[in-house]
Amino acid sequence: MTTTTTATTTRPTVATVWLDGCSGCHMSLMDLDERLITLAGLVDILHSPVVDPKEFPQSVDVTLVEGAVSSEEDLHKANVIRAHSKFVIALGDCAVTGNVPAMRNYWDRSDLFDRAYVENAQEPPTAEERKAILPLTVVPPLRPRATPLHEVIKVDLYLPGCPPPADAIWFVLTEFLAGRVPNAMSVSRFGK
């Protein structure tokens, strides 16, 4: 078998995905600071909000997923991630518990939309205008409930925290690279 990328394929591949979250978990990842340089030497980051590729790779060793599953697009992404990742880590409280995105679950979607797009409008829209205003087309439809990642796909490791501290992310990644399954609860907790 011939290939031009023998050097990179021997290294573990990593992807990070941003579903319904505030990106705080990715910020925390950025907070690895100079350790990012070390990380870049250890793994290939194939897919991430901070790198360019738009398509999810065919095969990834570890995928870190931030955010709850809120829309149909999130659900689709989650299924794609699961199908193409060997190991899926739920990164942060939104992916682990639903957290803040799931706080909308106490209301109906139509009530939510009205609150966001109708009640706060400077001039109350007519019924016709309301239809046009609400984000019901073009953007992916909201699911009835925002759920934690493991309610839609199998998750291999949970790293709670809001956000999980950079040290915790570093610990989990390095443990994993060393071939061990880390105990995330020794370094983080819900709401940290």
Partner 1 sequence: MSAVTSTTQSITLTIDDKAISCRSGETILQVARENNIDIPTLCYLEGLTVWGGCRLCMVEIAASPKLHAACATECTEGMTVRTTSPRLKQYRKMIVEMLFAERNHVCSVCVSNGHCELQNMATKLEIDHVRFPYRFPRMEVDNSHDYMRLDQNRCILCARCVRVCGEIEGAHTKDVKGRGVLSAIIHDLDEPWGDSQTCTGCGKCVNVCPTGALTHRGTAVGEMTKKTEFLPYLTLMREVKL
Partner 2 sequence: MKPEELLAMADKTSSDLDRYEHRIHVCTESGCISVQSDVLLKNIGEEVKRRNNQDKVCVKGVGCMGLCCNGPLVRVDDVMYQFVKPEHAGVIVESLSAQPIQELLCDTGQPFFARQKLVVRDNSGRVDPESLVDCVAHGAYQALLKVLTTMTPQQVIQEISDSGLRGRGGAGFPTGLKWSMVAKTGGRDKYLICNGDEGDPGAFMDRSVMEGDPHRVLEGMAIAAYAVGAENGVIYVRAEYPLAVKRLTKAINMARRHELLGPNIFGTNFNFNIELRLGAGAFVCGEETALIASVEGKRGVPRPRPPYPANYGLFGCPTLINNVETYANVAPIINKGAAWFAQIGTEKSKGTKIFALTGKIRNTGLIEVPMGIPLRDIIYDIAGGIPDGKAFKAVQTGGPSGGCIPAELLDITVDYESLAKAGSIMGSGGMIVMDETSNMADVARFFMEFCMTESCGKCIPCRVGTYEMHELLDRICEKRGTPEDLQLLKDLCDMVKQTSLCGLGQSAPNPVLSTLRYFEQEYQNLIAEAQAARGQVTQAITGEHIELEVLP
Interacting residues toward partner 2 by CB under 8 A: 54-56, 72-73, 76-77, 79-80, 83-84, 140
Question: Based on CB atoms, which residue is closest to partner 1, 78 or 96?
Answer: 96
Which partner, partner 1, partner 2, none, binds residue 109 by CB below 5 to 8 Å per kind?
none
DSSP structure string for 119-145? ITSSSPPPHHHHHHHSS-SSSPPEEEE
Question: Based on CB atoms, which residue is closest to partner 1, 47 or 98?
Answer: 98
CB half-sphere exposure, 151, CA atoms < 13 A: 17
Question: Based on CB atoms, which residue is closest to partner 1, 44 or 67?
Answer: 67
Q: Which residues bind partner 1 (CB under 8 A)?
A: 90, 93, 96-100, 102-103, 105-107, 145, 147-148, 150-151, 155, 158-160, 162, 183-185, 189-191
The CA-based diameter of the chain, rounded to the nearest angstrom, is 66
Which partner, partner 1, partner 2, none, binds residue 142 by CB below 5 to 8 Å per kind?
none
Q: How far is the CB of 56 from partner 2 (least distance, A)?
A: 6
Tokens of 99: 């957290």
Q: How far is the CB of 83 from partner 2 (least distance, A)?
A: 5
What gap in Å lies between CA 91 and CA 66, rounded to an integer? 5
Residues 6+ apart with CB under 8 A from 91: 16, 25, 64, 65, 66, 159, 164, 169
